[in-house]
Amino acid sequence: MSSAGTTAAAQAAVPEAQPPRRRMYSYVDIVTAVFVAVLLISNVASSKMLLLGPFTFDGGTILFPISYIFGDVLTEVYGYRRSRRVIWTGFACTGLMAVVLALVGVLPPAPGWEHQAAYMAILGITPRIVAASLIAYFAGEFANSYVLARLKILTSGRWLWTRTIASTVVGEGLDTVLFVWIAFWRLVPDSLLYSVAISNYVFKVGLETIATPVTYAVVGWLKRAEKEDYYDYGTDFNPFRVRYLEDNRG
């Protein structure tokens, strides 16, 4: 056999390089769906202001802290990169909801439908509220995920409660301050502004602190079910570096 034939045969015998197998998860899609649902429901519920004991806050605050619990679960189990993709998914869905509600609000109502004023009072949203919601969400969720991922490395995966509470203190702090001041500054008295901000922050952090045993249970179950406990060594924490076609490991 000629040398050319031998070389060709050897090349044919070497299998072509295969792309790495994608890491498949069983429950990340469910966690993502619930996370996004919590965001959307919270934004709609925020149209009503509540008085609950000593606290004054918008109705979305009752549910919104759960999004931070899910953010903790995503980062703790699947890593920052997976959490980053989910955060951007929530951002896009919230923006889409805002656009659709605003468009429906400005379109003329059908003859005989007499609830335009009620619609605008509940679902009518202003560009300022939308901007406040999206900016606060973006800063708060990414801060929460970043702090938890970094603390997981620093603590070598121990003391989960320190990570969930510390990340919430930072993330919810940014979220609350940005949303309240962007949405309501100069529109409501300063006394109400401070009252809403403090009530929101204390309630959110307190709720996640109380829910720590639930977070422990969910995280532990998911780690066993998914056989995953991701550590973000070498992760690029740039919040804008996201690729939806990358493998399922994030």
Answer with the residue of higher pLDDT: 26 or 54: 26
Mean pLDDT of all residues in 218-237: 94
Residue 21: predicted pLDDT = 46
**What are the pLDDT digits (tens) for 14-36?**
444 434 445 789 999 999 999 99
- How far, in Å, CA of 149 to CA of 170, rounded? 13
Q: What is the pTM assigned to this prediction?
A: 0.81
Are the C-beta atoms of 171 and 80 separated by less than 8 Å?
no
DSSP code of residue 42: H
Domain architecture of the chain: domains with CATH: 25-226 (1.10.1760)
Strand, helix or coil for residue 18: coil
**What are the pLDDT digits (tens) for 132-181?**
889 999 999 999 999 999 999 999 999 999 999 999 999 999 999 998 88
- How far, in Å, CA of 129 to CA of 122, rounded? 13
